[in-house]
């Protein structure tokens, strides 16, 4: 399984940057019309302890309706806390959203918002725009 980050690896990418890169990859693949399918990233963190050991790129209109054969799971640094995941777009969020899906050919998403992560005591915010562009903020 590909690895997003490992604490002991001096080449490890900071988890917020890697998560932003995976979101960008999902949006780009959707925009380029890969299999004429929407693409997304699923964040299977535990709602109580706010941790996960993997994230999953998928193909389909939602994680529940995805083509599981196309899943790509990435190991994720278990020391990263998902403080808040607000990806409900214009609809109010509980802070426990788990996926962002980008439309085929446009890369747009109705699941825009922010993901707040804490790693090694530093908090980072990832912004997902309605047009499917991803930025990170310290």
Provide the edge-to-edge strand list for the sheet that holds 134-137: 80-86, 113-119, 122-128, 134-137
Pairing of strands 54-59, 72-75: antiparallel
Query: Under a CB-based contact definition with an 8 Å cutoff, are residues 45 and 51 in contact?
Result: yes
Instruction: Return phi, psi of residue 127, to 5°.
Output: -100, 130
DSSP code of 96?
Answer: B
**CB distance 8 to 72 below 8 Å:** no
In CATH, 15-137 is 3.40.50.2300: no
Beta bridge partners of 56: 42, 73
Q: What is the pTM of this model?
A: 0.89
Q: Residues near 68 by Cβ (< 8 Å), separated by ≥ 6? A: 58
Spans of all domains in the chain: 15-137
Return the pLDDT at 16. Answer: 95
Give the tens place of pLDDT for each residue, 64-89: 999 999 999 999 999 999 999 999 99
The gap between the terminal CA atoms of the chain, to the nearest Å, is 28
Query: Rounded distance, CA 69 to CA 39, Å?
Result: 13
Name the pLDDT band for 4 (thresholds 50, 70, 90). very low
- Paired strand residues for 99: 42
Q: Which of 109, 82, 80 has its CA nearest to residue 98?
A: 82
pLDDT of residue 86: 96
């Amino acid at each position: 399984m590909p690895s997003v980050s490992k604490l002991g690896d001096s080449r490890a990418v900071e988890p917020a940057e890697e998560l932003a890169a995976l979101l960008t990859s999902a949006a780009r693949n959707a925009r380029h019309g890969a299999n004429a399918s929407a693409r997304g990233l699923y964040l299977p963190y535990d709602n109580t302890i706010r941790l996960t050991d993997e994230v999953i790129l998928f193909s389909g209109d939602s994680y529940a309706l995805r083509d599981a054969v196309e899943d790509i799971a990435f190991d994720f640094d278990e020391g990263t806390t998902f403080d808040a995941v607000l990806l409900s777009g214009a609809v109010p969020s509980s802070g426990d959203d788990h996926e962002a899906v980008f439309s085929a050919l446009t890369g747009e998403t109705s699941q825009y918002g922010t993901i707040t992560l804490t790693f090694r005591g530093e908090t980072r915010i990832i912004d997902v725009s309605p047009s499917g562009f991803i930025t990170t903020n310290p």
